[in-house]
């Protein structure tokens, strides 16, 4: 049975008991006080049953280079961006809804033992972006707020955790700019120990009267700030809606994906993988809709003279999302310091595309070359059995892939002698 027929069954895979919590859970948590929540307030996701069996059947059709294997790691509803804790204790998974999930693999057998919601007393709003600092703080970027959780590897087991506000509600962007569109933020802790947060602009192409405001605030860009929220600045200009970024492990440069303008054609404009070499660079939007394609709305506007064009142009409308540099040793050397990224799949293309994992190699001169790595979630009938969102590496060198359509996380491993 296809996953689309099972989507309605997600609710039957979880159980929760509602209870009354304090009116301001965040205030209580910031003071190390209880909220009134109990373990019964957690939503637990069963990891066995027909849904898991169906996903395992789908994974048998995923094609990858020889020696690689993909398996179901966890059932996680609406799974989006992921971050593994520094000691490998808990995987935190964001969503575009109102849940953040904590995933545990206590026996370290490559399959999750427990999936439950994090801090059920907190009212989350599009808590998509998650990132750990090396010293054990979890940062969470919502639609219009940024939170930090102290010592979460210790506290996540219970309903109450230590939580503080980095950017208060309504101060990431002006409240009047809040939108249901392009509001899934991505956050990372950079090599300079600062927070980097993508701020997708809310339109297909925003109107010219918004140019100055958006440039000032970093809407349609990537902003940078200290870990306490101070010293905010616009790091990247000319972004439409980036939902994936990471730092090169050698150069420290920021690389990021971008989703480009809809409605211009089946095969234009191109999606993007971008390389940023300095703060303040402009990457072309809204003057360019993707790659070298000019937007109709800004055709008569002069673009900045120093626009940086993509390191790699990707197939139009495949929706390039989460990415990671591969720095471990389990995979063959050809993957070292290369980029894995997820293509979520199209929604407005006559011939569907995406729903796959791509790999980009970067040579000694910095030239990037991209190719498919894992495919098969888009079937022969043009129907989606899954839509990958994010990719992260684990300490053992394996890789996790999230899928918000299937409500699952997959684990990719490499065995050199497979099939011998």
Distance (Å, whole) CA 149 – CA 121: 14
155 falls within a domain? yes
Q: Is the dihedral of CA 297, 351, 385, 60 positive or negative?
A: negative
387 falls within a domain? yes
Helix (H, G, I), strand (E, B) or coil at 256: strand
What pLDDT is attached to residue 416? 79
420 falls within a domain? no
Distance (Å, whole) CA 350 – CA 296: 21
Which residues fall within 8 angstroms of residue 182, CB to CB, at 6 or more apart? 200, 201, 202, 203, 240, 241
CATH number at residue 176: 2.120.10.30
Please name the residue that has the structure tokens 């102290």: 150
308 within 8 A of 283, measured Cβ to Cβ: yes
| DSSP assignments along 292-334, one per residue | TEEPSTTTTSPPPTTPPPPSEEE-TTS-EEEEEE--SSSS-GG
How much of the chain is in helix, strand and coil states, percent to nearest 5?
A: 10, 30, 55
353 within 8 A of 368, measured Cβ to Cβ: no
3 within 8 A of 386, measured Cβ to Cβ: yes
Structural domain count, the chain: 1
Distance (Å, whole) CA 35 – CA 19: 11
| DSSP assignments along 130-185, one per residue | EEE-TTS-EEEE-SS-EEEEETHHHHTTSS--EEEEEE-TT-SS-GGG--SSS---
27 falls within a domain? yes
419 falls within a domain? no
What pLDDT is attached to residue 272? 98
285 falls within a domain? yes
Give which of 223, 204, 319 is closest to 272, Cα–Cα. Answer: 319
Tokens of 100: 């953040």
Give which of 126, 75, 72 is closest to 98, Cα–Cα. Answer: 126
What pLDDT is attached to residue 173? 98
Which residues fall within 8 angstroms of residue 278, CB to CB, at 6 or more apart? none
365 to 311, 361, 362, 368, 369: CA distances (angstroms): 12, 11, 8, 9, 12
Distance (Å, whole) CA 341 – CA 320: 7
What pLDDT is attached to residue 16? 38
266 falls within a domain? yes
Helix (H, G, I), strand (E, B) or coil at 10: helix
> Bridge partners of 147?
140, 165
Query: By residue range, what is the domain housing residue 205?
Result: 3-414
299 to 20, 258, 296, 304: CA distances (angstroms): 55, 20, 5, 13
* Mean pLDDT for back-to-back runs of 10 residues, the chain (420 residues): 40 39 79 95 98 98 98 98 97 98 96 97 97 98 98 96 97 97 98 98 98 98 98 98 98 97 97 98 98 98 97 98 98 98 96 98 94 97 98 98 98 75
Give which of 298, 167, 153, 290 is closest to 226, Cα–Cα. Answer: 167
């Amino acid at each position: 049975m296809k996953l689309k027929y099972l989507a309605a069954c997600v609710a039957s895979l979880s159980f929760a008991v509602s209870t009354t919590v304090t009116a301001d859970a965040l205030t209580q948590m910031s003071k190390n006080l209880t909220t009134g929540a109990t373990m019964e307030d957690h939503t637990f996701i069963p990891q066995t049953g027909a849904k898991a069996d169906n996903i395992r059947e789908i994974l048998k059709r995923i094609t990858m280079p020889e020696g690689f294997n993909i398996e179901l790691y966890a059932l996680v509803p609406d799974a989006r961006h992921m971050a593994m804790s520094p000691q490998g204790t808990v995987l935190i998974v964001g969503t575009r809804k109102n849940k953040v999930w904590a995933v545990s693999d206590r026996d370290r057998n490559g399959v999750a033992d427990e999936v439950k919601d994090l801090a059920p007393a907190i009212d989350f709003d599009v808590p998509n972006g998650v990132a750990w600092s090396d010293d054990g703080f979890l940062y969470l970027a919502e639609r219009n707020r940024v939170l930090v959780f102290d010592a979460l590897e210790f506290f996540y087991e219970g309903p109450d955790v230590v939580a503080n506000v980095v950017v208060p509600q309504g101060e990431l962007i002006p409240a009047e700019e809040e939108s249901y569109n392009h509001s899934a933020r991505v956050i990372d802790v950079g090599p300079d120990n600062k927070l980097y947060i993508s701020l997708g602009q809310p339109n297909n192409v925003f109107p010219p009267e918004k140019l100055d405001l958006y440039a000032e605030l970093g809407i349609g860009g990537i902003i940078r700030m200290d870990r306490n929220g101070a010293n905010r600045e616009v790091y990247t200009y000319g972004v439409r809606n980036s939902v994936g970024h990471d730092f090169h492990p050698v150069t420290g440069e920021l690389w990021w994906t971008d989703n480009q303008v809809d409605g211009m054609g089946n095969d234009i404009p191109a999606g993007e993988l971008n390389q940023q070499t300095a703060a303040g660079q402009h990457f072309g939007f809204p003057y360019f809709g993707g790659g070298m394609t000019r937007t109709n709305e800004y055709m008569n506007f002069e673009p900045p003279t120093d626009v940086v064009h993509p390191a790699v142009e990707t197939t139009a409308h495949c929706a390039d999302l989460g990415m990671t540099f591969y720095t471990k040793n389990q995979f063959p050397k050809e993957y070292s310091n290369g980029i894995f990224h997820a293509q979520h799949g199209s929604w407005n293309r006559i011939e569907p595309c995406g729903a796959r994992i791509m790999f980009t190699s970067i040579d000694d001169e910095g030239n990037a070359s991209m190719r498919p790595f894992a495919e098969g979630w888009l079937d022969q009938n043009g129907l989606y059995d899954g839509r990958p969102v994010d990719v992260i590496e684990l300490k053992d060198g394996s890789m996790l892939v999230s899928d918000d359509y299937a409500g699952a996380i997959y684990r990719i491993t490499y065995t050199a002698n497979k099939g011998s």
